[in-house]
Structure 1
Amino acid sequence: MRVYLTVILCFSFAFSADRISSRNFATRSEVIARHGMAATSQPLATQIALDILKKGGSAVDAAIAANAALGLMEPTGNGIGGDLFAIVWDANSQKLYGLNASGRSPKSLTLAYFKENGFKKIPSHGPLPVSVPGCVDGWFELHKRFGKLKMQVILAPAIRYAREGFPVSELISYYWGRSVPFLKKYPNFEKI
């Protein structure tokens, strides 16, 4: 019996695949929906977007809600301190809209400043590579044109998670841990 079970398990592992209609080792299942869908790298942010759609929000409302949550839950790649880029298809007007809500550099931070101070490239860390954030302004620009729900409804889930807490993902925990040696160079970070 033990040999028989071992043979079955070996064959099961040797010929396993995610599903026959797609590539082997696909990491996500196909999703089909009738009235809308959302996808993010963070399950809680995806659920927030779906909840906004269920409340009658537009796709832009859902995207803003998800982006606000991602800024909290995945601050290494998103957030109110960053930029926002959007491409929106308006089915009513049959037009495609684009928004570049990237921040600008401070007025006095010019190319001449970098050259005068011996920089051959913009540093990857510290205050010099930071631009004026454009994300929040981008939310309001998008909402003005394409939003349905009030911003207080759209942002409420992210605010709730900020107050009550949320589980930190394994990936974000890894990135935070990897940053500790760098942050120790700046004593004021330790106070935070």
Structure 2
Amino acid sequence: MLVGEVWLCSGQSNMEYTMRKNSKVPSPPGLNPSPVDELKYAHNPAIRIFLVNRKELAKPDSLHRGWSVAEDSALRSFSAAAYFFAKELQKRLNVPVGMISSAVPGSRIEPWISEAAFAQDKYYAGQKVEGEPGKFYEPMIRPLVPFAVQGFLWYQGETNCFLAETVNYAHKMKTLIESWRTAWGGSGLPFYYVQAGPV
């Protein structure tokens, strides 16, 4: 049995982007060892990973059924962003770190927010929210709620950006963050997200 930190990672393709794909990127010059080669030497029993299968969710539990050490075939199919976050966190804190990845490529933000959360938000009173609210929240997030987490990582936005959303997306992010924190009973739980922009 391990005691440490567990983080939930979600979003679209950039969060889902696997370590297998990461290993095929050209290695940056001057880096030895290179993050591109991580699969070759990754073996840290203090980093555990759980990949949520959207077709058949098996909830991770305190006995670590369904959890894997971050190595070999399990790591190849896991989120690169989540793994490297875990690696850095484990090195700094020197405690076991568990990462749950629940992401869907190409997804909008609305499916990750429950219909109830939209209904309770005064900003959306009388509005019909497009984008299939709750579609991924119900099977891929809500079953994880009883599981204790330390915080959240979010990497999504491109799909809503293509819909030319600006202020609306900011409101949806606020609803997402507040509703997830409420679900886990921790108003101060960290919620880290990537802000993508022009280079």
Give the TM interval when normalised to the shorter protein.
Answer: under 0.3
Normalising by the residue count of structure 2, what TM-score does the alignment of the two structures yield? 0.26
Larger radius of gyration: 1
Normalising by the residue count of structure 1, what TM-score does the alignment of the two structures yield? 0.27
Higher relative contact order (CA 8 A, sep 6+): 2
